[in-house]
Amino acid sequence: MIPYATPEAAGLSQKRLDRAYGLLERWVGAGKIPGAAIQVTRGGVWTSPRGFGRMTPGPDAASLPPEAIFLVASVTKPLTCLAVGMLVERGLIALDQPAGEIVPEFTGQGKEAIRVIHLLTHTSGLPDMVPANLELRRQHAGLDVFIQHICACDLLFRPGTSVSYQSMGIAMLGEIVRRVDGTPMPAFLDREVFGPLGMRDTSLGLKEEMRPRLAAVRLPEEQQGTDWNWNTDYWLRLGVPWGGMLSTVHDITILLRMFLNGGVFGGTRVLGTATARAMVTNMVAAMPEIPAPVKLANAWGLGWRLGVLTSSAYFGDLVSPRMFGHGGATGTVVWADPDLDLTCAIFTTQPGIGRMLGLVSSAVAGAVD
């Protein structure tokens, strides 16, 4: 059990941190956000997590507790990349290895040039989603069908020459883990990450015991009334490697702290020091065929977005260039600032609020004494 302390014990101003909490409280009260939770740590000292609003968008729903479980969407991506990093440090795959050597059907339309590192850094040329994405969801397609479509799709550009956010590249990484380890991604993460770190309320795909604490997403118009939306059993159980993880702000903070500690948390090492360092190092900067302006706007480690210049509003304006983090389409953001030894996890159930999350992030960073 991790003990909680006052903000002052963590070198934070209670008054200024309350401004961050006040933003979430005000937006919940105004109906802009149905529910939210936040966890802040500094220097290894944990402040108490806070919950706001309700578990579902309805006015009569139960209050949302700090230990509520959220569908975190693309905050999943660094976990899939972490699994790949583990295979790299075990000598089972290499960053410059062609992905097609591991998944032979991943070929054609220039895919032979895609290396594992391209999938990890959004430089593969794969699209964010396959053209048949919505149709596959309507059909309740399994992950194997998504992989078939990825293997057949066209590239946006020649691998290693530009940067374009690609959920389908992360999907291929999940398939690579399955092929190399012989274990589906949910079981791999349970065995190698969630279990050892004590992330008891985290999984890739919904487990039935999580359901009573699962906060429902306020659905965008295009998902309302469908049987494949974020709140359906189909999507929650599918456990997509690019966006199907469920977690709490407490659990995800363990992950952030593990990276700040160089691969160790609570005396348990899950990742080598060199691997942890590589995952939060700008890999795009060393790719010679990517134009300088594109590099400047797209600093990526192995799965983590890096630095304030590429913050895309989620991380606010006060984090350092060494910040690493990720956001999710369901209204989530997590980040860690090594210079301040500060972490912040904000989970909400309101999609499309990246800039609002950035305002809260700025208030959290501004609370450092």
* Burial 161-178, CB ≥16 within 10 A → b, else e: bbbbbbbbbbbbbbbbbb
323 lies in some domain: yes
Between CA 102 and CA 105 the distance in angstroms is 9
What phi and psi, each to the nearest 5 degrees, are found at residue 156?
A: -80, -30
pLDDT in the model for residue 310: 55
90 lies in some domain: no
Between CA 15 and CA 25 the distance in angstroms is 15
Q: With CA atoms as reference, report the closest residue to 250 among 319, 313, 334, 330.
A: 334
157 lies in some domain: no
Here the CATH number for the domain that contains residue 352 is: 3.40.710.10
Between CA 304 and CA 89 the distance in angstroms is 18
17 lies in some domain: yes
Q: What is the DSSP string of 178-222?
A: HHHHSS-HHHHHIIIIIHHHT-TT-EES--GGGGGGBPPP---GG
**11 to 256, 295, 368: CA distances (angstroms):** 18, 34, 6
275 lies in some domain: no
120 lies in some domain: no
Q: What domain count does the chain have?
A: 1
Q: With CA atoms as reference, report the closest residue to 162 among 278, 300, 279.
A: 300
Alpha helices in the chain, H assignment, sequence order: 14-29, 77-89, 99-102, 116-120, 133-138, 143-152, 167-181, 185-189, 195-197, 233-238, 249-260, 273-279, 292-297, 354-365
Residue with tokens 């407490």: 250
* Burial 281-295, CB ≥16 within 10 A → b, else e: bbbbeebeebeeeeb
Between CA 106 and CA 114 the distance in angstroms is 9
pLDDT in the model for residue 314: 87
Between CA 306 and CA 285 the distance in angstroms is 11
327 lies in some domain: yes
Q: What is the pLDDT along the chain (369 residues), one digit of tens a residue?
A: 899 999 999 999 999 999 999 999 999 999 999 999 999 999 999 999 999 999 999 888 999 999 999 999 999 999 999 999 999 999 999 999 999 999 999 999 999 999 999 999 999 999 999 999 999 999 999 999 999 999 999 999 999 999 999 999 999 999 999 999 999 999 999 999 999 999 999 999 999 999 999 999 999 999 999 999 999 999 999 999 999 999 999 999 999 999 999 999 999 999 999 999 999 999 999 999 999 999 999 999 999 999 856 556 889 999 898 999 999 999 999 999 999 999 999 999 999 999 999 999 999 999 999
45 lies in some domain: yes
Q: Which domain holds residue 252?
A: 4-55+65-75+203-263+303-365
Strands 332-337, 324-328: parallel, antiparallel or unpaired by DSSP? antiparallel
- Tell me how crowded residue 182 is: count the other CB atoms within 10 A of its CB: 9
Apex CA 55: angle with CA 54 and CA 57, to 5°?
Answer: 70
pLDDT in the model for residue 58: 83
